[in-house]
Amino acid sequence: MTNEPTSSASNGGIRTPGGAILMDGNRLRDEIVAELAATITAAGSPPVCLATVLVGDDGPSQRYVRNKHVQAAKAGMLSRNEVLPADAGQSRVEEVVAALAADPSVHGILVQSPLPTGYDEEAVLTLIPADKDVDGLTSESMGRLVRGLPGLVGCTPLGVMRLLERYGVATSGRRAVVVGRSMLVGLPLSLLLARKGVDATVTIAHSRTNDLEGLCREADIVVGAVGQAGLITAAHVKPGATVIDVGISRTEAGIVGDVDFDAVQAVAGHITPMPGGTGPMTIACLLENTLTAARLQGAFPS
């Protein structure tokens, strides 16, 4: 079997050969970017600016940053890209980030991770004000999420929530298992799924979880977010469950996810492809966060 769709689904999705509804992140990204562009135009096109900081010449990081700026332009946003050599040094990187933090014309700041070996990434992130933290990674942003206060949420977790909303996946009273406990995805996503109004019952699983297969098989929503290729198999999924693939592994065959797509799509009710699922949504929600950041700073009408 392949990732090729076969037929339409009633909620606007398409079905995989096995019958699962494919949760198309590329399609939803384009919808969100178009909505952002329309919102900015309707407000008279005030400047909304995203700034990225790229340190070093890592190929994948360069591509990620380039894609972010391409989509920002489609959304009608301004963008800046501060590029520094790998040997720029901690103080120079901090100087650049501090200048962006102090610049009122910059509404969102993203430091492309990971920084090259030898840098103190946490010290750099600490310089980003919570209202400009469009990656949702600072301690203050995480604290706001935990306490349910207004703020900026990690782009990938937010992207997962947008996919669930777009494809009409019920969450209230449903059981969700998030496999992975990173600060980038697993923990914030668990909080979003459990928060009032979403109301899922969430279990965080990890490398020391006993009987992962059995645990996942009880869930209505399964999220793979550990970066272990093919971890989630058909045996982990109860018929009709929603399966979200966040993990990324680079293999000789190309990019693969935590989910054994071909096997799982024959069992699941909804499934994300890899690539083309949660990755595009991360960029879409980065731009959504940038507009939210401008509103938090009073630079865009609420």
**Nearest-angstrom CA–CA distance, 206 and 201:** 17
Q: Tell me if residue 238 is catalytic.
A: no
Catalytic residue among 68, 71, 131, 133: 68
Catalytic residue among 131, 133, 135, 258: 135
Q: Tell me if residue 196 is catalytic.
A: no
Q: Tell me if residue 135 is catalytic.
A: yes
3-state secondary structure of 120: coil
Query: Of 140, 217, 154, which is closest to residue 191 (Cα–Cα)?
Result: 154
Cβ-contact 38, 285 below 8 angstroms: no
Cβ-contact 268, 240 below 8 angstroms: yes
Catalytic residue among 71, 112, 260, 265: 112
Quote the tokens at residue 292: 């939210």
Q: If you ran DSSP here, which 8-state letter would residue 147 be given?
A: H
- Sequence-distant (≥ 6) Cβ neighbours of residue 123 within 8 angstroms: 90, 94
Cβ-contact 272, 245 below 8 angstroms: yes
How big, in percent rounded to 5, are the helix, strand and coil portions of the chain?
40, 20, 45
Quote the tokens at residue 284: 């879409």
Helix (H) or strand (E) holding 223: strand 221-224
Q: What is the DSSP string of 32-66?
A: HHHHHHHHHHHTT----EEEEEEES--HHHHHHHH
Side-chain-side CA neighbours of 135 within 13 Å: the count stands at 19
Query: Of 15, 41, 58, which is closest to residue 270 (Cα–Cα)?
Result: 15
Which residues participate in catalysis according to the annotation?
A: 68, 112, 135
